[in-house]
């Protein structure tokens, strides 16, 4: 049996992308209800499992001989959960785009685990994360697990390589606008680019990575104190430092500047860069709504890419 509905969060990296690769800490935030899955039994129950997520252009039959990575990942999660592997149709409603650095694969495997695990396990974060990792390994080889943790837990989490995750207690909710640039990017290529720049100019780039790590420590304190002004300033600094690493692009800089010009407190690229997404920190839901309309007016081409949306993080 599958449960009829389950959900999971998308994620953004608030602060600390790239420097986290070199052992510095990072902060990630869950984008709530990033993906909602609904399941219903198919007549006869014998047919292959079906998965449809229109926002991600996904319409798949999950069969053992499928080579599609999404099908393979889903079957791994279902097997881990001892769930059914035939006879159900699963439909997904996604608020986050796929392949844009917002943790779509982890959201899928976490929500699927919650559909398929026995009741008590489905309510235990550790079990859900472990089940989701069976799917994440199909997509990412040997992932750190951060995306699954934040997809399952939501809120803000702090993490560092080789250390566990820690929930960060926010003094006040964060109002974020997530802007997909529509520009494709590959995390591995961008991570390799940073490494090459660091190898060429270690005395220059190491201090930038150190500074990004220090930003995370200071940013966490700002979150815990509810000091939104300090957080916004640190977000702006992080965007500039990521530019120094070579992972920003003119369109990302223009989008960030426009968001701030239209009332956001601060904005930065999030994740690997090169394209993908930005986010803007806003004062309240009203400010977030006006930033969203200003982005659509200033950059009509954004309308063609996945939608800009507001998320509250608590």
183 binds ligand PMV (CB under 6 A): no
The smaller minimum CB distance to ligand PMV, of residues 161 and 171, is found at 161
Q: Retrieve residue 226's tokens.
A: 């509810």
Q: Where do we find the tokens 């070199």?
A: 22
Catalytically active residues are 147
- For 165-191, letters b (16+ CB in 10 Å) and e give beebebeeebbbbbbbbbeebeeeebb
Residue nearest to ligand PMV (CB): 271
160 binds ligand PMV (CB under 6 A): no
Judged by CB under 6 A, the stretch of 15-23, 148-156, 206-214, 283-291 that binds ligand PMV is 15-23
Closest by CA to 79, choosing from 5, 149, 137, is 137
Q: Which residues contact 213 (CB under 8 A, 6 or more apart)?
A: 16, 19, 24, 25
Judged by CB under 6 A, the stretch of 110-118, 199-207, 228-236, 269-277 that binds ligand PMV is 269-277
271 binds ligand PMV (CB under 6 A): yes
17 binds ligand PMV (CB under 6 A): yes
168 binds ligand PMV (CB under 6 A): no
Q: Coil, strand, or helix at residue 154?
A: coil
On whether the CB atoms of residues 48 and 88 are closer than 8 A, the answer is no
Among 9, 14, 15, 20, binds ligand PMV (CB under 6 A): 20
164 backbone φψ class: left, alpha, beta (φ>0; ψ -120 to 50): beta
The smaller minimum CB distance to ligand PMV, of residues 77 and 272, is found at 272
187 binds ligand PMV (CB under 6 A): yes
Judged by CB under 6 A, the stretch of 34-42, 113-121, 256-264, 268-276 that binds ligand PMV is 268-276
Q: Where do we find the tokens 């500047």?
A: 257
Contacts to ligand PMV by CB under 6 A: 13, 17-18, 20-21, 101, 187, 191, 271-272, 276
């Amino acid at each position: 049996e599958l449960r009829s509905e389950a959900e999971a969060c998308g994620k953004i990296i608030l602060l600390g992308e790239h420097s986290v690769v070199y052992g510095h800490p990072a902060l990630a935030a869950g984008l709530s209800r990033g993906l909602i899955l609904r399941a219903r039994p198919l007549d006869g129950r014998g047919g292959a499992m079906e998965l449809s997520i229109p926002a991600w252009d996904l319409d798949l039959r999950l069969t053992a001989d499928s080579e599609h990575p999404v099908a393979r990942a889903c079957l791994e999660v279902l097997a881990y959960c001892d769930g059914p592997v035939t006879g159900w149709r699963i439909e997904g409603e996604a608020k986050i785009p796929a392949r844009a650095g917002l943790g779509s694969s982890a959201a899928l495997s976490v929500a699927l685990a919650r559909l398929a695990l026995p009741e008590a396990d489905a309510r235990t974060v550790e079990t859900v994360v472990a089940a989701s990792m069976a799917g994440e390994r199909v997509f990412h080889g040997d992932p750190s697990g951060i995306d699954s943790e934040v997809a399952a837990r939501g809120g803000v989490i702090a993490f560092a390589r080789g250390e566990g995750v820690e929930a960060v207690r926010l003094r006040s909710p964060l109002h974020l606008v997530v802007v997909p640039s529509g520009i494709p990017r590959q995390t591995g290529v961008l991570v390799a680019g940073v490494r090459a720049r660091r190898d060429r100019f270690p005395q220059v780039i190491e201090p930038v990575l150190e500074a990004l790590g220090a930003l995370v420590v200071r940013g966490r304190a700002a979150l815990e104190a509810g000091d939104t002004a300090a957080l916004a300033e640190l977000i702006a600094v992080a965007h500039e430092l990521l530019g120094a690493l070579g992972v920003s692009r003119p369109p990302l800089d223009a989008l960030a500047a426009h968001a701030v010009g239209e009332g956001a407190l601060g904005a930065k690229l999030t994740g690997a860069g090169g394209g993908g997404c930005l986010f803007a920190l806003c004062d309240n839901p009203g400010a977030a709504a006006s930033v969203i309309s200003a982005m659509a007016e200033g950059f009509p081409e954004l309308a063609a890419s996945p939608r800009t949306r507001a998320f509250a993080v608590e």
